[in-house]
Amino acid sequence: MSFEFATATRILFGEGTAASLPELARAFGDHPLVVTGASPERVASVVSTFSAERFAVSGEPTVELVREGVRRVRRTNRDLVISIGGGSAIDAGKAIAAIATNGDEPLDFLEVVGKNRTIANAPLPFIAVPTTAGTGSEVTRNAVLASTEHGVKASLRSPFMLPRIALVDPQLTYGLPPAITAFTGLDALTQLIEPYVSARANPLVDGICVEGIGLAAGALRRVYHDGADRAARHDMALASLFGGLALANAGLGVVHGFASPLGGSWNAPHGALCAALLPHGMAANIAALRARALQHPALERYSTIARLLTGRSDAVAEDGVAWVRSLCAELNIPPLRQWGIAEADLPDVVEKAAQASSMKANPLQLTHEELLAVATAAW
């Protein structure tokens, strides 16, 4: 067996660690661009420690937004990029830091729909401070951008893009409202389940996933019903970090394959899409494995997932699906149609999902009919 596990990010985790940000940042530069999300007031205490150029991101990051950020970096001579926010702010900052030293046009470097050029120069130093517990983007080497002209989301990807520092402070998630807590938390769970059954799974990732799935299983309901539950917030921040490390090293699968075209064409939070799709993607994979790949190791892995989620030693793979289904109901996860997606759109979504980079790591190839069934069930 051989595998690779890469991370060059210095990870600092713990309650109160965000206070060390100004000191850590000074080691990289004196003129940061600080990228925040749509609600920068929630992190005002951290942001206000900088007399920095601010750049706010509302909604999921787009190619246009990154262009604008790069112009701002150049115009104001920034030497460092710091993102303090959710996955959108982190991916935007990561992309801005990378493009700023490599060219002008994000599409030149974008996978799938762009020219897929290599990021050849080291990006500006980039520090990620997540304020949600979901994407794990603080430890991944890609930034997901929506290209509105192509109607998909695709990645800028390079080992150079790993953040220099990931500062994960669970306290920054205490104020998250329940809906965002649910969407981001289910994204974290998806990003632990998909790498664990991935075609690229490896033993180091396995350990991270098993630990992370257990943490998320114990904390997701608690953190949704009581956002002040500090132990549950701590566990979700850790689960999210683990999910980022796992997906960066073992890939994802069918759920994220769908999240790419859906997020590119409709204005819906990434986590909400993953949450709506997760039980159906799991069910489709398990059914396909039982039908044509009974000896596939992913099938036993789905049983392990079921045992971790339910806490029952006799749980079988399908029990894990039922657990996730009931979790989604309890956390009020809306179906896909709530985001303006029409049933007539689904065949086109399936075509694009089949081409998405995440789909390549799914444990087995699903047919067009199976993919359409997943989308329809989640709709």
Chain residues that interact with Zn ion, rule: CB under 5 A:
187
- Does residue 166 sit in helix, strand or coil? strand
Pairing of strands 10-13, 165-168: parallel
In angstroms, what is the minimal distance from the CB of 197 to Zn ion? 15
- Does residue 154 sit in helix, strand or coil? strand
In angstroms, what is the minimal distance from the CB of 270 to Zn ion? 6
C-alpha–C-alpha distance, residues 71 and 103, integer Å: 11
**Residue number with CB closer to Zn ion (21 or 90):** 90
**Residue number with CB closer to Zn ion (99 or 192):** 192
C-alpha–C-alpha distance, residues 165 and 179, integer Å: 28
**Residue number with CB closer to Zn ion (138 or 187):** 187
Residue showing the smallest CB distance to Zn ion in the complex: 187
Beta strands in the chain (DSSP E): 10-13, 32-36, 53-56, 80-85, 126-130, 142-147, 152-157, 165-168
In angstroms, what is the minimal distance from the CB of 92 to Zn ion? 16
**Residue number with CB closer to Zn ion (187 or 235):** 187
Q: Evaluate whether 155 touches 147 at the Cβ level (below 8 Å).
A: no
**Residue number with CB closer to Zn ion (32 or 281):** 281
Distance of CA 294 to the CA centre of its chain: 30
Q: Evaluate whether 35 touches 92 at the Cβ level (below 8 Å).
A: yes
Counting runs of H as helices and runs of E as strands, what totals does the chain give? 13, 8
C-alpha–C-alpha distance, residues 137 and 37, integer Å: 14
**Residue number with CB closer to Zn ion (144 or 172):** 144
In angstroms, what is the minimal distance from the CB of 194 to Zn ion? 9
In angstroms, what is the minimal distance from the CB of 187 to Zn ion? 4
In angstroms, what is the minimal distance from the CB of 48 to Zn ion? 30
